[in-house]
Amino acid sequence: MLSLAEKERYEKHLLLPQMGTEGQEKLKSARVLVVGAGGLGCPVLLYLAAAGVGKLGVIDPDSVELSNLQRQVLYRTDELGQPKALMAVTHLKKLNADIEFAFYHQALRRENAAPLIQDYDVVVDCTDNFTVRYLINDVCVSLGKPFVYGAIHQFEGQVSVFNFQDKTGTWGPTYRCLFPEQPNDLSVPNCAEVGVVGVLPGLIGMYQATEVVKLLTGLGKILSGELLLVDVLENRQQKIRLKRRPDAESLIFPQTDAPVAVEESTGLKTLTAADLKHRLDAGEDLFVLDVRNPNEYDICRLPQATLIPMNTIPNNVRRVPQDRPVVVYCHHGIRSANVIQYLEQNHGFRNLINLEGGIDAWAREVDETMAVY
């Protein structure tokens, strides 16, 4: 039942003959998990909270950075360094205190994905990480949950609903029906590497939020079996038809493509910024590999660092020595861990060390005069 205050709050929903009280009560009883509280996650969370979804969960391991504020509209300048998931929920409670929130300041991994996802009705993929995206797909397929997919790249975006079961009991395509095998994260750059126009995540995120509302209320035509492509630079939209593969369920969790997050990569060696300074000061023969983009390198860099941007690593493997320790770093340690995983699995490297916290940790713990971005 809706309270008098809820009837006033959701008045414009109640006026819609397709929605009405019944539709709003369905939203109130629903539970949605949003994976990623970045550019896509912010508009998704804002509009689902405003719509009155009964419980919203948000999972994100990252903290607010200055470069986020160009597109991640939930956060403020005075919140730099704070956990995104916590800050998102803090602001959303001010928008709608009548709904339940849960935040998880952690990465989605194999060991926590199923327990988290099984408690929600719909999952919204707002990530820019293939490992996590394939993990979402595989867990949702195994649990029979739909998930709303969104992706952005410079001026282009994509939206679809995967693993949706319609009223006839027919299942729609999964993400692996579109892309059966997980690409290497190094082969497909994300917005952190190639950029994105700030308004695009808002547009794609609103498409995702709309599909969630339709899924929960049973309204309209679900974007299942179709991939919506949006190009805001040329003002073009098109749809690609998709079909569920007969072997869709057998595609999940392949042994050769096990969706293990980089944070749990077996045997990943790490060192702290203080440890690295000590070893450099001692004159140890280290190769320091910077896998950020050239514009980041121009802002700040570690002593003796060699720049090989992450997406160029496959063509520059020979430049990385195997006869001495190699310390790999990026902004916060995620891209560098992906590079290490790639070099170890594909080229047999055993001398790679990841700098915990990346150059941001060095700037905060070792060299406070270094520029922070």
Q: Which pLDDT belongs to residue 195?
A: 82
| pLDDT tier at 255, thresholds 50, 70, 90 | low
Amino acid at 11: E
Based on the residue annotation, tell me whether 191 is a catalytic residue of this protein: yes
Instruction: Report, at the CATH architecture level, how domain 4-261 is classified.
Output: 3-Layer(aba) Sandwich (3.40)
Task: Report which DSSP code applies to 324.
Answer: S
Q: Which pLDDT belongs to residue 232?
A: 96
Q: Which pLDDT belongs to residue 47?
A: 98
Q: Do domains 4-261 and 265-365 have the same CATH topology?
A: no
Q: Which pLDDT belongs to residue 228?
A: 97
Report the distance separating Cα 237 and Cα 204, nearest Å: 12
Q: How confident is the prediction for the chain on average, in pLDDT?
A: 92
Can you give the residue ranges of every domain in the chain?
Answer: 4-261, 265-365
| pLDDT tier at 258, thresholds 50, 70, 90 | very low
Is the pLDDT at 264 greater than 60? The verdict is no
Based on the residue annotation, tell me whether 126 is a catalytic residue of this protein: no
Report the distance separating Cα 162 and Cα 134, nearest Å: 12
Radius of gyration in angstroms for the set of CA atoms belonging to the chain, rounded to a whole number: 22
Amino acid at 156: E
- CATH value of 265-365 in 1.10.1740.10, 3.90.850.10, 3.40.50.300, 3.40.250.10: 3.40.250.10
**Span 265-269, mean pLDDT?**
63
Q: Which pLDDT belongs to residue 341?
A: 86
Amino acid at 179: F
- Quick one: what percent of the chain has pLDDT higher than 90? 82
Strand, helix or coil for residue 91: helix
Q: Which two tokens stand for residue 343?
A: 């070099």
Q: Which pLDDT belongs to residue 182?
A: 85
Reference 56, options 36, 30, 37, 75; nearest CA is 30
| Cross-strand partners of 59 | 35, 104
Report the distance separating Cα 310 and Cα 90, nearest Å: 34
Q: Which pLDDT belongs to residue 99?
A: 95
Given 42, 140, 177, 191, the catalytic residue: 191
Given 42, 177, 300, 330, the catalytic residue: 330
The pTM assigned to this predicted structure is 0.76
